[in-house]
Amino acid sequence: MQSTAWMLTAAGLAIGLLLLLVIKFKFQPFVALLIASIGFGLSTGMQPVALVDLMVDQMGGALGQVALVIGLGAIFGEVLQRAGAAERLATTLIDRFSDRNVAWGLGFAGFLVSIAVFIDVAIVILVPMLYSIARRTGRSLLFYGIPLCAGLSVTHTFIPPTPGPIATAGIMNADLGLVILFGVICGLPAMLVAGPIFGRFISKRIFVPVPEDIAAPSPVVAGGRSSDGAPAAATPDADSTSGSGQSAGPTSPGSPSPAEEPVRELPSFLSVVGALLLPLVLILGGTTGSLLLQEGSAPHTALAFIGHPVIALLLTCLYTLYFFGVRRGSSGDELQKMATRALAPAGVIILITGAGGVFGGFLVESGLGEVLADAMQEWNIPIVLFGFLTSALIRISQGSGTVAMITGATLTAPLAESMDLGGPMLALTCIAIACGGTAFSHVNDSGFWMANRYFGMSVADTLRSWTVMKTAVGLTGLAVVLILSQFVS
């Protein structure tokens, strides 16, 4: 085995190489992760042929459940997006809350929408809906936009079946039901602090008028009446697959821009909420059943089956394809094209996750996990804080929330394995990694520039509002994680 000093040095050099390839030379993160993995393996004494065999094994091992869940989740989200689920949630909650309290409704709308819809798509669709409210009330656009974006940010990075937490849980081998549970527990306070509370504060200090150079949303028939809840104009130029959005965005090749979509009737509010909560309820039911019911009993077996993340997402996909596709007049050919379109950005996330699994496998093989565990015990650093810091450092360096979470999980997984963590602590560590991947968004993040354009702000004001909001989400979530970690093992 290589010396401890050299293993740590090699790991640092591998991470440096990864950042150099992604930031300086603009390599796709999937390729960059593979190159960094090979460099680390060779530098720590792995035989070349054995290294390739290990790479293939780790790639396959990392992608079993993750690939299925991400793919099914992408189809589920695409169908709901095309049906107008995001607009229905936002318009209903805006109508239900008074102008004084609508910021709270927008925070919860973002929280629900991002269960299925990629954050960058949601920003494009929903932020222009706020323009008419801001014009009517005369308030800063940030009063409404910050709560909405905080809700979107929390769910997109904390709660499966969105790609980031799915990939993180897969690499960490954590129970998805527990990740969902702790994601909600940590995410709601983060949404409230970074959303309505911070939004009220920052809107008094930065007045952002409605942008004049962005097309207003087209009308949508909502429950028999016209509303302002349609998609916005095309997105700004941004690399969504390498920024915080983690998807190919609404203007990926072959798909129409939101502005070109036809006028359509929106689904009912209850049907949308039911569809969004269905996979979460099924997965949590499986986790609860495994804890409370006798193993091998019929109820235990039934709940374990339908609550398995793959089966839960498959059932949800079939439900949404029928109720939001077939029953709304979509043909089989249209649904097939919709599903195929959804899998394009999902494929990128799946490959990056697999490459992250390769990197993690090499770290485990080298014995680095034991070295880090010994160092953490000596320095008295909680594993949740280690996961947050590694993810946050990658996030600050290269901007991508996806790459930050996957790399953070990759570096933390060997440590968790050597410490033999229990299920609840593993799930909490996943949330801590997600907090690091959410915080500190700045000019190297495509989400930063989407907010800059759709809110019509200067770079300085975007830093004071969007960046602080994202950081508040991450730090508030981390604070809750640290508190909970005192009571679980």
The domain locations on the chain are: 61-484
Phi, psi of 443 (to 5 degrees): -70, -10
How many CA atoms, within 13 angstroms, populate the side-chain half-sphere of residue 313? 24
Q: Which pLDDT belongs to residue 35?
A: 95
Give the mean pLDDT of the chain. 85
Q: Which pLDDT belongs to residue 214?
A: 59
Q: Helix or strand or coil: residue 219? A: coil
Which tokens in the block code for residue 281? 């309820």
Instruction: Please check whether residue 315 is in contact with residue 306, taking contact to mean a CB–CB distance below 8 angstroms.
Output: yes
Q: For residues 348 and 47, what is the distance between their CA atoms, to the nearest angstrom?
A: 29
Q: Of 157-171, 202-216, 397-411, 429-443, where does mean pLDDT reach its minimum? A: 202-216
How many CA atoms, within 13 angstroms, populate the side-chain half-sphere of residue 68? 12
Q: Which pLDDT belongs to residue 257?
A: 44
Closest to 156 measured CA to CA, from 254, 240, 37: 240
> Cα dist. 187→190, 227, 327, 475 in Å?
5, 30, 34, 11
pLDDT at 177 over 50: yes
349 Cβ neighbours under 8 A, 6+ residues apart: 70, 163, 167, 241, 246, 247, 402
Instruction: Please check whether residue 234 is in contact with residue 213, taking contact to mean a CB–CB distance below 8 angstroms.
Output: no
Per-residue pLDDT reduced to its tens digit, 384-443: 999 999 999 999 998 888 889 999 999 999 888 888 888 999 999 999 999 999 999 999
Which tokens in the block code for residue 319? 């439900």
Q: Of 113-127, 220-234, 333-347, where does mean pLDDT reach its minimum? A: 220-234
Q: Which helix (H) or strand (E) holds 432?
A: helix 423-438
Q: For residues 37 and 57, what is the distance between their CA atoms, to the nearest angstrom?
A: 13
Strand-pairing partners, residue 222, are: 225
| pLDDT class of 264 with cuts at 50, 70, 90 | low
| pLDDT class of 237 with cuts at 50, 70, 90 | very low
Q: For residues 393 and 396, what is the distance between their CA atoms, to the nearest angstrom?
A: 5
Burial class of residue 47 (count of CB atoms within 10 Å of its CB; 0-12, 13-18, 19+): exposed
Helix orientation angle between 29-43 and 332-366, rounded to the nearest 10 degrees: 20
100 Cβ neighbours under 8 A, 6+ residues apart: none
Instruction: Please check whether residue 440 is in contact with residue 467, taking contact to mean a CB–CB distance below 8 angstroms.
Output: yes
Q: For residues 200 and 206, what is the distance between their CA atoms, to the nearest angstrom?
A: 10
Closest to 112 measured CA to CA, from 188, 193, 219, 200: 188
Which tokens in the block code for residue 452? 């800059």
Q: Average pLDDT for residues 250-272, to the nearest whole number?
A: 60
Classify residue 128 by its DSSP letter: G
Q: Which pLDDT belongs to residue 220?
A: 39
| pLDDT class of 72 with cuts at 50, 70, 90 | very high
- Per-residue b or e along 327-359, where b marks 16 or more CB atoms closer than 10 Å to that residue's CB: eeebeeeebeebbebbebbbebbbbbbbbbbbb
Q: Which pLDDT belongs to residue 231?
A: 31
| pLDDT class of 245 with cuts at 50, 70, 90 | very low
Which tokens in the block code for residue 341? 């379109």
Phi, psi of 488 (to 5 degrees): -120, 165
Closest to 248 measured CA to CA, from 334, 148, 121: 121
Closest to 366 measured CA to CA, from 35, 21, 37: 37
Asked, as a colleague might, if the bond just before 267 is cis with ω within 30 of 0, I would say no
Q: Average pLDDT for residues 7-34, to the nearest whole number?
A: 90
Per-residue pLDDT reduced to its tens digit, 295-351: 889 999 999 999 999 999 999 999 999 999 999 888 989 999 999 998 888 888 889
